[in-house]
């Protein structure tokens, strides 16, 4: 768990990286040695942007491949300007953004021999899942449980996200679980 100071640092960093995108067309150049040791560690993260309570962008990494500060700066920029579901963020939207960050634990495989056995092992509201089979791959963060609270729904829609039919099953499906540390900006008063 990060301390409150490090959490606020990451939220500020995400906002600064989006501002850099608006001003310079690229993410903030991070000098990682100026951050706490904890924030310099390789970690995977997701940055989610909301505008007026509606999703405005979400990009992340599932595996730690760079320092957390670099991952946050990159993912914030990409959520604002490169999420294919949305047009690039415009300057007049910047002050309306609400930033939410999730830092992932390393994914761990779940062992199961049937779909029901997998469903029985899910920790509702806690597990993020990464489902893969062949070239198909999709993930749902733990926050998705808020809109899909039943394990059957969660798995059905995760299969769809991975490009598979919701009722699809195969002995080749692999599922990994991860957890997140989640925090967001304080609402404007």
- Name the residue with tokens 């320092």: 67
Do residue 120 and residue 160 come from a single domain? Answer: yes
One DSSP character per residue, the chain reads ---HHHHHHHHHHHHHHHHHHHHHSS-----GGGS-HHHHSB-EEEEEEEETTEEEEEEE-SS--SBHHHHHHHHHHHHHHT-TTSPPPPGGGGGGEEEEEEEEPPPEEPP-SSHHHHHHH--TTT-EEEEEETTEEEEE-GGGGGT--SHHHHHHHHHHHTTS-TT---TT-EEEEE-EEEEEPPPP-
Do residue 86 and residue 164 come from a single domain? Answer: no
Confidence of residue 102 (pLDDT cuts 50, 70, 90): very high
Q: Where does a domain end: 89, 104, 119?
A: 104
**CATH code for position 137:** 3.30.1490.150
In a domain? residue 145: yes
Q: What average pLDDT does this structure show over 22-26?
A: 97
**CATH code for position 55:** 3.30.700.20
CB-facing half-sphere around the CA of 106: CA atoms within 13 A: 5
Span 108-137, pLDDT tens digits: 999 999 999 999 999 999 999 999 999 999
% of the chain exceeding 70 in pLDDT: 98
Number of domains comprising the chain? 2
Span 40-53, pLDDT tens digits: 999 999 999 999 99
Q: Where does a domain end: 87, 104, 121?
A: 104
Span 161-172, pLDDT tens digits: 999 999 999 999
Q: Structure pTM? A: 0.88
Do residue 100 and residue 10 come from a single domain? Answer: yes
Give the pLDDT score at 186. 82
Give the pLDDT score at 187. 67
Q: Which residues contact 141 (CB under 8 A, 6 or more apart)?
A: 46, 60, 102, 128, 180
Q: What average pLDDT does this structure show over 8-28?
A: 97
Range of the domain at 144: 108-179
């Amino acid at each position: 768990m990060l301390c409150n100071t490090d959490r606020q640092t990451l939220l500020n960093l995400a906002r600064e990286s989006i501002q850099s995108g608006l001003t310079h067309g690229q993410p903030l150049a991070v000098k990682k040695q100026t951050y706490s040791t904890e924030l310099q560690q390789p970690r995977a993260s997701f940055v989610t942007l909301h505008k007026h309570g509606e999703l405005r962008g979400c990009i992340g990494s599932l595996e730690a491949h760079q320092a957390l500060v670099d991952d946050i700066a990159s993912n914030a920029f990409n959520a604002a300007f490169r999420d294919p579901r949305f047009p690039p963020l415009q300057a007049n939207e910047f002050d309306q953004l609400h930033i939410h960050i999730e830092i992932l634990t390393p994914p761990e495989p779940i062992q199961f021999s049937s779909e029901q056995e997998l469903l029985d092992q899910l920790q509702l509201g806690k597990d993020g899942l990464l489902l893969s089979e062949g070239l198909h791959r999709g993930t749902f963060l733990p926050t998705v449980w808020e809109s899909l609270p039943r394990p059957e729904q969660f798995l059905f829609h995760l299969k769809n996200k991975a490009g598979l039919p919701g009722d699809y099953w195969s002995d080749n499906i692999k599922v990994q679980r991860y957890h997140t540390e989640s925090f967001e900006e304080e609402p404007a008063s």
